[in-house]
Structure formats: structure tokens, C-alpha cells
């Protein structure tokens, strides 16, 4: 019983004449398809035909889905969007980072035309965002912070000190008392990492 290869959901595996459908598969029109992403396994049991199954790898990569709340780190900003690396889906850390984009129009729910990216995020900020689309060929996820609970959760000031939120649009450095603009998240208790 050894894994043969990796397969994706919906992949055609073989015909029902060659094998019997096992767990993680389904049959349609005399063919066996994978119903999930994982390792294809072919076992010879007592029957004449081998049984094909798809076993989800327990180490398999969790993927950000549309509607998922993700924690990401801002890499770069320009006047139109912020580029981020997605680090967590919910409270689960990702093995490899995914790239995401928060467009200017997806930063706030109100006064979208007045939003300025550099007044919302800065590079290295940690942001809670929601996945709104799986993006394009560059595999960029489109993210939104247009809810009160979403936005910057951790930011460092010019002095390198973690800043404290003082309003929904400002954070302050406890050392220098300098205020900086941010799209501040009103963090819900379930998203606080201990």
C-alpha cells in the first residue's frame, strides 16, 4: 500500500473496469474521479480489481478560501494597493506564504474614494483581512479590510516600538507619542493570539 501520486479534486483517475472506487473518490460515466486533493493509493484487496482511494495528506497545505479571515504581513504599498504575504488562515499557520493584494477600494466600507493606501498600511504591518477572490494568474489573493474587525492589528512606529491603537484610523507610539494613520482593526477576542 504505497502512495502513487498526488492528485487534485475532480481529477480523472481511471475507469471502473480497471479498479473499484474507494474513499475520497466518486464514479461518473464509468470513470473514477478524485473527490479531494491528496495522495492516490491503489490497494489490492480480496476482489479481482484493485481499490483506488485518495487520502488527504495530514500535512497537506491549508488554502485560503473566499470568505476566510487571514492574517497577513504588508510587504509593499503604492497609491493603488498594498501587497501582502498571507501567514495564517484563521488561527492555523501556513507552511508556505501566499501573496495577496488589498486594493484601495477594498480597504474601507465607507468613503472608498477618499481612502489613501499609505494612510492605511505600512510595510511590515500585521493585518487581519478577508479573502474576497482567489485572484488571477499571478496567484494573488484579493483581500478586503472593509469591516470594523479587519485592518491593522500590529504596527511598529518609526522608533521600532509596537504602537497602540487610539482610534479606528490612528495608532500612537508609546515612546515618542507620535501618531500615525492606519486602518485599525477592532480585534475580536477569537483572533487574539496568546
Q: What is the pLDDT of residues 3-36, one digit of tens each?
A: 457 777 788 999 999 999 988 899 999 999 988 7
What dihedral angle (degrees, nearest 10) is formed by the CA atoms of 124, 129, 135, 138? 10
- Between 138 and 142, the more confident residue is 142
pLDDT score of 177:
93
Kindly state the helix (H) or strand (E) to which residue 152 belongs, with its residue range: strand 151-154
Fold of 68-151: OB fold (Dihydrolipoamide Acetyltransferase, E2P) (2.40.50)
Contact between 97 and 89 (Cβ < 8 Å): no
Cell numbers given for 60: 497537506
d(CA 93, CA 71): 9
- Between 58 and 42, the more confident residue is 42
At 155, give phi and psi (nearest 5°).
-145, 145
Q: What is the pLDDT of residues 158-167, one digit of tens each?
A: 888 999 999 9
Contact between 162 and 125 (Cβ < 8 Å): no
Fold of 6-55: OB fold (Dihydrolipoamide Acetyltransferase, E2P) (2.40.50)
With 50 as the cut, is the pLDDT of residue 194 above it? Answer: no
pLDDT score of 129:
96
Q: Where are the domains of the chain?
A: 6-55, 68-151
pLDDT score of 1:
45
DSSP result, 107-148:
S-SS-GGG--GGGT--TT-EEEEEEEE---TT-PEEEE--ST
Percent of the chain with pLDDT over 70: 86
Q: What is the pLDDT of residues 48-64, one digit of tens each?
A: 888 988 877 654 556 77
pLDDT score of 155:
95
Amino acid at each position: 500500500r504505497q502512495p502513487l501520486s498526488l492528485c487534485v479534486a475532480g481529477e480523472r483517475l481511471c475507469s471502473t473496469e480497471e479498479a473499484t472506487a474507494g474513499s475520497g473518490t466518486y464514479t461518473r460515466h464509468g470513470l473514477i474521479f478524485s473527490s479531494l486533493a491528496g495522495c492516490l493509493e491503489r490497494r489490492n484487496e480480496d476482489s479481482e480489481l484493485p481499490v483506488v482511494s485518495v487520502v488527504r495528506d495530514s500535512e497537506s497545505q491549508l488554502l485560503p478560501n473566499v470568505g476566510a479571515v487571514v492574517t497577513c504581513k504588508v510587504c509593499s504599498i503604492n497609491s493603488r494597493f498594498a501587497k501582502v504575504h498571507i501567514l495564517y488562515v484563521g488561527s492555523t499557520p501556513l507552511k508556505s506564504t501566499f501573496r495577496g493584494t488589498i486594493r484601495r477600494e477594498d480597504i474601507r466600507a465607507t468613503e472608498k474614494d477618499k481612502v489613501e493606501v499609505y494612510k492605511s498600511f505600512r510595510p511590515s504591518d500585521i493585518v487581519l483581512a478577508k479573502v474576497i477572490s482567489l485572484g488571477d494568474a499571478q496567484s494573488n489573493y484579493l483581500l478586503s479590510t472593509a469591516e470594523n474587525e479587519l485592518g491593522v492589528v500590529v504596527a511598529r512606529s518609526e522608533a521600532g516600538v509596537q504602537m497602540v491603537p487610539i482610534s479606528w484610523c490612528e495608532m500612537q507610539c508609546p515612546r515618542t507619542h507620535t501618531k500615525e494613520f492606519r486602518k485599525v482593526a477592532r480585534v475580536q477576542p477569537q483572533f487574539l493570539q496568546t
